[in-house]
Chains A and B, each alone.
Chain A
């Protein structure tokens, strides 16, 4: 289901990000700018979930809960303590990371489905609490948040989103090329074996969980500051499904996958927006389903397969040679 990230793909991802920003710069229509801000918001969510689920193998359903934690904490610290919004967003992200640490310690003892269910339950508790505790959170009406920038909001947010995404991908690249990257994949592919070899799997998973929760919280704060509003619907199952879908459609476990997936989703949303959110969700869920059934490696898988077809034939022939079995050489 996953292939190793290559430098080419990284370059491709960076190019796509820059292209999106450039597009926003060239076409200064407010609708497009708005769409690009949404793109970066979802990109941060999808890319960080991909790091957790695709590379470390932990199918969490609590990602949007961390996003909304970041958003609410940012909004309330700014509102109550009078912190500038930019600082509040960072505080929110840190709070999300702490929440991630807590939830991670609690849930990462479980594997596979039990882990998914436990994170699912945590996300559910948080959402229900946000709606129920209306005296603190504003209930289903949500909470307003102060803006970060004055003046041309959207364009500033495009640049901010671009900067944050580039930072995310740069850090991810460093992470994956360090020994952490190998350990994460080892835990994903064969956790018992990795444990047997002395990898502290639970520590590693908790660390990655908290780190990705940080990015989810940051994305939440970014979004709250842009819309100047937070509501519990952000943490809904539907949004979790969309983020998950973006990663899968793009190609789970690859670096550029989330970028492509988010792009696909934003295009659908852009063109179906006038009809109401259900159309977007319906179309995208359909694409997700088709991807799962016929294109399990997502768009990246398709691209890799196409590229391979155009490679020099000898090279392919060499790759197809079976490796000699280590014990096959006769005793001398």
Chain B
């Protein structure tokens, strides 16, 4: 079990450790002037639920997560967390409010050991050494990471193992809202299903709100509650997991039809 966070300054702030809705309204992002990657995206990650975002490559899914996490330039719209405007907050302030991101590409520190990497996950509470040791221990057990890997250099791990360590590190960050970008990309099927199990358990066990972006649509739909479909930087469809599962063939066929012509019904 992961220890629940004690009361810290962060917890004392509004919306600190109570699970709340994360709402993005009309979110616009442009990395370069005049090239909008997101053009008004509406997504709600309801508290203690798993919300899934799917869409074709380049739809802007990763960009959406990055924008929420303060890593992409937001040019318009609003992101709120339990009614508090968190648009354009820096990652560390978001983290203090319980919003953590696991990006798509590698974000481990390659020359550090796995243990040090996990310790970095607890950066904001680095003074509480005892707590940090305990939660690292707990996470290693929970994810069944082979013991001998803990003191290896992270850069020497296989791609899948690195991805796993990244997810473990995000657990150390003790988020109340967890943004996951393709957490099982590169994992073996067995490992992937284990990770999905862990994710599925997050809302119930720890009261974590999960916003999941995934290409592995079938498996991720199985654990999700709400589903959003993005295409060309716009909302394309939405529904409950069951609803979308039924219409899945139709939706993915739609992605193919759009091709490069780029016309999207809005």
Interface residues of A, Cβ cutoff 8 Å to B: 323, 325-331
Find out whether the CB atom of A325 lies under 8 angstroms from the CB atom of B39: yes
In the complex, which residues of chain B have a beta carbon less than 8 angstroms from the beta carbon of A323?
34
In the complex, which residues of chain B have a beta carbon less than 8 angstroms from the beta carbon of A331?
263-265
Question: Measured between alpha carbons, how far is A69 from B233 in the docked complex, in Å?
Answer: 54
Question: Measured between alpha carbons, how far is A331 from B231 in the docked complex, in Å?
Answer: 14
The residue of chain A having its C-beta at the shortest distance from the C-beta of B231 within the complex is: A327
The residue of chain B having its C-beta at the shortest distance from the C-beta of A190 within the complex is: B32
B235-266 interface with A by 8 A CB criterion: 262-266
- B232 part of interface (Cβ distance < 8 Å): yes
Question: Measured between alpha carbons, how far is A325 from B265 in the docked complex, in Å?
Answer: 13
- B42 part of interface (Cβ distance < 8 Å): no
**Shortest distance from the beta carbon of B35 to any chain A beta carbon, whole Å:** 9
Given A328-B266, A330-B263, A331-B264, 14 additional A-B pairs, CB 8 A: A325-B36, A325-B39, A326-B262, A327-B39, A327-B232, A327-B234, A327-B262, A327-B263, A327-B264, A329-B263, A330-B265, A330-B266, A331-B263, A331-B265
In the complex, which residues of chain A have a beta carbon less than 8 angstroms from the beta carbon of B263?
327, 329-331
**Shortest distance from the beta carbon of B256 to any chain A beta carbon, whole Å:** 14
Question: Measured between alpha carbons, how far is A133 from B36 in the docked complex, in Å?
Answer: 58
**Shortest distance from the beta carbon of B32 to any chain A beta carbon, whole Å:** 9
The count of residues in chain B whose C-beta lies closer than 8 Å to any C-beta of chain A is: 11
**Shortest distance from the beta carbon of B98 to any chain A beta carbon, whole Å:** 34
The residue of chain B having its C-beta at the shortest distance from the C-beta of A189 within the complex is: B32
Q: List 20 A-B contacts (CB under 8 A).
A: A323-B34, A325-B36, A325-B39, A326-B262, A327-B39, A327-B232, A327-B233, A327-B234, A327-B262, A327-B263, A327-B264, A328-B39, A328-B266, A329-B263, A330-B263, A330-B265, A330-B266, A331-B263, A331-B264, A331-B265
In the complex, which residues of chain B have a beta carbon less than 8 angstroms from the beta carbon of A328?
39, 266
**Shortest distance from the beta carbon of B40 to any chain A beta carbon, whole Å:** 9
**Shortest distance from the beta carbon of A310 to any chain B beta carbon, whole Å:** 24
Shortest 4 CB-CB contacts between residues of A and residues of B: A327-B262, A331-B263, A327-B232, A325-B39
Residue interface bits B31-52, CB-to-A below 8 A is 1, else 0: 0001010010000000000000
Question: Measured between alpha carbons, how far is A328 from B233 in the docked complex, in Å?
Answer: 10
Question: Measured between alpha carbons, how far is A329 from B263 in the docked complex, in Å?
Answer: 7
In the complex, which residues of chain B have a beta carbon less than 8 angstroms from the beta carbon of A325?
36, 39
B177-201 interface with A by 8 A CB criterion: none
In the complex, which residues of chain A have a beta carbon less than 8 angstroms from the beta carbon of B264?
327, 331
In the complex, which residues of chain A have a beta carbon less than 8 angstroms from the beta carbon of B233?
327
Question: Measured between alpha carbons, how far is A331 from B34 in the docked complex, in Å?
Answer: 22
**Shortest distance from the beta carbon of B236 to any chain A beta carbon, whole Å:** 12
**Shortest distance from the beta carbon of B128 to any chain A beta carbon, whole Å:** 38
In the complex, which residues of chain A have a beta carbon less than 8 angstroms from the beta carbon of B232?
327
**Shortest distance from the beta carbon of B43 to any chain A beta carbon, whole Å:** 19
Question: Measured between alpha carbons, how far is A327 from B40 in the docked complex, in Å?
Answer: 13
Question: Measured between alpha carbons, how far is A331 from B265 in the docked complex, in Å?
Answer: 6
B19-40 interface with A by 8 A CB criterion: 34, 36, 39
**Shortest distance from the beta carbon of B231 to any chain A beta carbon, whole Å:** 9
The residue of chain B having its C-beta at the shortest distance from the C-beta of A327 within the complex is: B262
**Shortest distance from the beta carbon of A324 to any chain B beta carbon, whole Å:** 11
**Shortest distance from the beta carbon of A42 to any chain B beta carbon, whole Å:** 34
Question: Measured between alpha carbons, how far is A325 from B264 in the docked complex, in Å?
Answer: 12
The residue of chain B having its C-beta at the shortest distance from the C-beta of A329 within the complex is: B263
**Shortest distance from the beta carbon of A329 to any chain B beta carbon, whole Å:** 7
Question: Measured between alpha carbons, how far is A329 from B234 in the docked complex, in Å?
Answer: 12
Residue interface bits B200-234, CB-to-A below 8 A is 1, else 0: 00000000000000000000000000000000111
In the complex, which residues of chain A have a beta carbon less than 8 angstroms from the beta carbon of B39?
325, 327-328
Question: Measured between alpha carbons, how far is A328 from B36 in the docked complex, in Å?
Answer: 11
In the complex, which residues of chain B have a beta carbon less than 8 angstroms from the beta carbon of A327?
39, 232-234, 262-264
Interface centre among A323, A327, A331 (most CB of B within 10 A): A327
**Shortest distance from the beta carbon of A186 to any chain B beta carbon, whole Å:** 14
Question: Measured between alpha carbons, how far is A150 from B221 in the docked complex, in Å?
Answer: 88
Question: Measured between alpha carbons, how far is A323 from B262 in the docked complex, in Å?
Answer: 17
Question: Measured between alpha carbons, how far is A81 from B39 in the docked complex, in Å?
Answer: 69
**Shortest distance from the beta carbon of B164 to any chain A beta carbon, whole Å:** 31
Question: Measured between alpha carbons, how far is A323 from B39 in the docked complex, in Å?
Answer: 12
Question: Measured between alpha carbons, how far is A326 from B264 in the docked complex, in Å?
Answer: 11
Question: Measured between alpha carbons, how far is A326 from B232 in the docked complex, in Å?
Answer: 10
In the complex, which residues of chain A have a beta carbon less than 8 angstroms from the beta carbon of B265?
330-331
In the complex, which residues of chain A have a beta carbon less than 8 angstroms from the beta carbon of B34?
323
The residue of chain B having its C-beta at the shortest distance from the C-beta of A322 within the complex is: B34
**Shortest distance from the beta carbon of A201 to any chain B beta carbon, whole Å:** 19
The residue of chain A having its C-beta at the shortest distance from the C-beta of B264 within the complex is: A327
Question: Measured between alpha carbons, how far is A181 from B265 in the docked complex, in Å?
Answer: 40
